[in-house]
Chain A
Amino acid sequence: MNSRGASGTELALNEAVPLCQAWAVAFLQGAGIRALAIKGPVFVLLQVRRPRQSNDVDVLVDPSDFDRARDLLFAAGWELFIEGLLHDVSAVHSLTLAHPLWACTLDLHHHFPGILREPQSAFDVLWGQRCEVTVAHRSVTTLNRPAAFIVESLNSLRNLGVGVWSAEGARLVTELPSPFTPEELNSFIECVPRLAAARTLEPVLRSLGVTTRSEVPEDSRLAVQWDRYARFGTPGSAWTNAVQWRRPIATARALIQHLVLGEQASQRWASAQGIPYRGRISVMLLRIRRGLSALGEWRSRGRPTLENWWNG
């Protein structure tokens, strides 16, 4: 197999992600759906994230059009990355979709974890903070820098345990690739309480020397979800906990389902990891090996995370 896969025509991840992000936003907006590219290449371009290769594309859509957006993507050949229990539980804030022609997956969000305002109102606030950036030589709608930094910060915090949130808040501020202008900082400070994110972004606000309180009530369901992240360390651990509580008997089966991927999912995983595909067994063994490494890390540093387990 060459670098372009068996057919010699496969896109590399650094080609697929920007192309797919440009296509997905244009496609959904073309259908009259308000859609925002988040994370990935657009956040690198906005300089709220340090350059790194994304494995997937994230699109946040108007919650009232979420089902229509999902159905349009299904009609365009996208399908659930993993079906069944894993999908049921992980679809709390987004759906992960895959397409045979794309090396990357597509995360379709109806809200973003840590934004605790009721999703429709929160989206309306974010839509008011949109801007355009050029991705793959085409204009793509995303968030402006202050709002993008909110999403980027929440994304970083939820991937870590509460014990290191304070340090992560400081890191996010000090390592912001391009420091905020006074206007951007004001916009950030104004936007946080409107999204009911003052509590979840407290480590970042503290690093900025800012005190603020949310102007709107927190959505209790979203607050519980975030508190689960805080309690269990990561989305992966929180997810495991959620599964255990909701359907304990199926937990082991679900873990095996995630570990023993099908042929296509195995190929996608290998592609997303940037490694040559040598078959399902090889992928499974690699995932087990990484899981054991995560366990070793747990013994020395803290909790194991499913995210570490799957992605190393």
Chain B
Amino acid sequence: MTPSGDRDFESTGDAGQAASVTRLGECQASVVWKVSTNVAWVDAEPDAIALIDLSLGPSARPYLVLEPAAHLWRIIGTEGANAEQLLSAADIAGVETPERLVEAFLEQLLELGILTREKR
């Protein structure tokens, strides 16, 4: 994820927890990742998703999720997605190491509080 304007972004999550929950082999199909209700986002351009965490108030900064991660975001969309769906999407997108991309994507966005993890 790239902060718009190269500004620092304040982390809102627990990095250790995020890392543990994104080991895809341990994830059940019933685990679904969703966009946090604090996040406003726009899918208006083909190369990125633009978003902002509204919970950060005055320190909120607009961010861009660039391709190929933007592709994963679109899979999550408004309904959420599980690991299998995300891996399948990364695979179809022709990413060399789909597992690494998905794990990094989930880990970073969970850490920032942009995504949440739910059991369906």
Contacts and interface: CB of A to CB of B under 8 A. Distances in A.
Contacts of A7: 5-6
Nearest to B5: A101
A211 interface: no
Contacts of B62: 11, 15-16, 19-20, 101-102
B45 A138 contact: no
A311 B62 CA distance: 26
A22 interface: yes
Interface residues of B, number: 27
Contact of B40 (A31, A102, A136): A136
A100 B52 contact: no
Given A12-B44, A14-B44, A27 B60 contact: yes
Given A15-B44, A101-B61, A137-B35, A27 B54 contact: yes
B87 interface: no
A182 interface: no
Contacts of A14: 42, 44-45
Interface string A1-33: 001100111111011101110110011001100
Nearest to B53: A23
Contacts of B78: 137
A75 interface: yes
Contacts of B47: 3-4
A23 B52 contact: yes
Contact of B54 (A8, A22, A101, A102): A22
Interface in B34-76: 35, 39-42, 44-45, 47-48, 50-52, 54, 57-62, 64
A306 interface: no
A136 B49 CA distance: 11
A210 interface: no
B4 interface: yes
A15 B51 CA distance: 8
A30 B2 CA distance: 26
B64 to A, nearest CB: 6
A135 interface: yes
Q: When A and B form their complex, which 5 residue pairs have the shortest distance between CB atoms, in order from nearest? A: A15-B50, A76-B58, A136-B40, A22-B40, A101-B5
Interface of A: 3-4, 7-12, 14-16, 18-20, 22-23, 26-27, 30-31, 72, 75-77, 100-102, 135-138
Given A9-B64, A136-B41, 14 more contacts: A4-B47, A11-B50, A12-B50, A15-B62, A18-B40, A19-B40, A19-B41, A19-B42, A27-B60, A72-B58, A76-B58, A76-B59, A102-B62, A138-B39
Interface of B: 2-7, 35, 39-42, 44-45, 47-48, 50-52, 54, 57-62, 64, 78
